[in-house]
Structure 1
Amino acid sequence: MRAQADRQAIADLGVLYARAVDDHDVDSVVAMYTADGVFERRGVAATGRAEIRAAYVASFDTYRTMLHTPHPGVVQLHGDGTASGWSHGHAELATRSTLVLASFRYEDDYRRVDGRWLFAKRSITFMYAVPADELATSFGSVERMRWPRTAPEPADYPESAPTWETYRA
Structure 2
Amino acid sequence: MEQSALLARIDRLESIEEIRQLAGKYSLSLDMRDLDAHVNLFAADIRVGREKTGRAHLKAWVDSTLRDQFSGTSHHLGQHIIEFVDADHAVGVVYSKNEHETGPEWVTMQMLYWDDYERIDGRWYFRRRLPCYWYASDLNKPPIGERKMRWPGREPYFGTFHDLFPSWAEFWANRPDKDCLPQVAPAAPLEQFLTTLRRSTQAPKIRVR
TM range (shorter): 0.7 to 0.9
Corresponding residue pairs, total = 163
Structure 2, gaps ≥5 residues long = 1-9, 177-209
Which secondary structure does the structure 1 equivalent of 2:13 belong to? Answer: helix
2:150 is matched with 146
109, 118, 133: which is aligned to 2:140?
A: 133
Call closer, same or farther: CA 1:132–1:39 in 2, change over 3 Å: farther
Larger radius of gyration: 2
Which AA in structure 1 matches 2:70? Y
Query: 1:166 deviation in Å?
Result: 2.4
Is the Cα contact below 8 Å between 1:39 and 1:121 reproduced in 2? Answer: no
Higher RCO by CA contacts (8 Å cutoff, separation 6 or greater): 1
Give the TM-score taking structure 2 as reference length.
Answer: 0.71
The C-alpha deviation readout for 1:65-105, integer Å capped at 9, x for no partner, is 11100112111122241111111110001023211100111
Call closer, same or farther: CA 1:37–1:162 in 2, change over 3 Å: same
Listed as ranges, the matches of 1:36-47 within 5 Å are 36-38=45-47, 47=53
Which AA in structure 1 matches 2:151? W
Which AA in structure 1 matches 2:65? S
Call closer, same or farther: CA 1:104–1:38 in 2, change over 3 Å: farther
Percent identity at matched positions? Answer: 25
45, 48, 68: which is aligned to 2:54?
A: 48
155, 167, 190: which is aligned to 1:163?
A: 167
1:23 is matched with 32
Which AA in structure 1 matches 2:152? P
Q: Distance in 2 between matches of 1:160 and 1:151?
A: 24
Query: 1:52 deviation in Å?
Result: 1.4
The C-alpha deviation readout for 1:18-61, integer Å capped at 9, x for no partner, is 10011011101110000122467xxx897432231122112221
Structure 1, gaps ≥5 residues long = none
Q: Distance in 2 between matches of 1:45 and 1:9?
A: 30
Call closer, same or farther: CA 1:45–1:76 in 2, change over 3 Å: farther
Structure 1 or 2: more strand by fraction: 1
Q: Distance in 1 between matches of 2:13 and 2:109?
A: 31
Is the Cα contact below 8 Å between 1:144 and 1:154 reproduced in 2? Answer: yes
34, 58, 66: which is aligned to 1:60?
A: 66
Is the Cα contact below 8 Å between 1:38 and 1:122 reproduced in 2? Answer: no
Give the TM-score taking structure 1 as reference length.
Answer: 0.87
Query: 1:160 deviation in Å?
Result: 7.1
Call closer, same or farther: CA 1:51–1:8 in 2, change over 3 Å: same
4+ runs deviating over 6 angstroms: none
Answering whether residue 95 of structure 2 is matched by residue 88 of structure 1, we say yes
Q: Distance in 2 between matches of 1:108 and 1:161?
A: 14
